[in-house]
Amino acid sequence: MSKQGQGFGFGLGKMKELTEAFKKAQQVQEGAKKLQEELENMEIEGEAGGGLVKVVLSGNQEPRRVEISPDAVTEGVDVLSDLVTAAMKNAYEKSTATMRQRMEELTEGLNLPGL
């Protein structure tokens, strides 16, 4: 005696779940594409030395520009080098946090395993 609606061990309820999972995956994919464009156009500024050196990255951590105050130049090469490095780290940390936050917003409420 066979049970109806159980073809291949897949009930109709499972098909509905599968369809919903595909819809959610498509939503995430569309959202990820928009997020990618948004991150590319975003500018995130890191700074050091109270603004003596500023580094600007895109949301995808692509370098955009470095701004160095004339006052920073008078500090000497070693100090200036440290300031640029610190500003880069600051911009990187901000861009990473922004990317993580946007990804969490994108996947919020989707109950996707592994995210």
Please give the average pLDDT of every successive group of 10 residues along the chain, which has 115 residues.
51 77 82 88 96 95 95 93 97 93 80 55
Per-residue pLDDT, 115: 46
Per-residue pLDDT, 113: 56
Residue 77 inside a domain? The answer is: yes
| Residue 66, phi then psi, degrees to nearest 5 | -125, 130
Residue 36 inside a domain? The answer is: yes
Per-residue pLDDT, 17: 81
Tell me the residue range of the domain where 64 lies.
13-107
How many domains does the chain contain in total?
A: 1
Per-residue pLDDT, 108: 78
C-alpha–C-alpha distance, residues 15 and 74, integer Å: 69
CATH of the domain at 90: 3.30.1310.10
Per-residue pLDDT, 43: 95
Per-residue pLDDT, 76: 92
Residue 24 inside a domain? The answer is: yes
Residue 4 inside a domain? The answer is: no
Residue 45 inside a domain? The answer is: yes
Residue 2 inside a domain? The answer is: no
C-alpha–C-alpha distance, residues 61 and 59, integer Å: 5
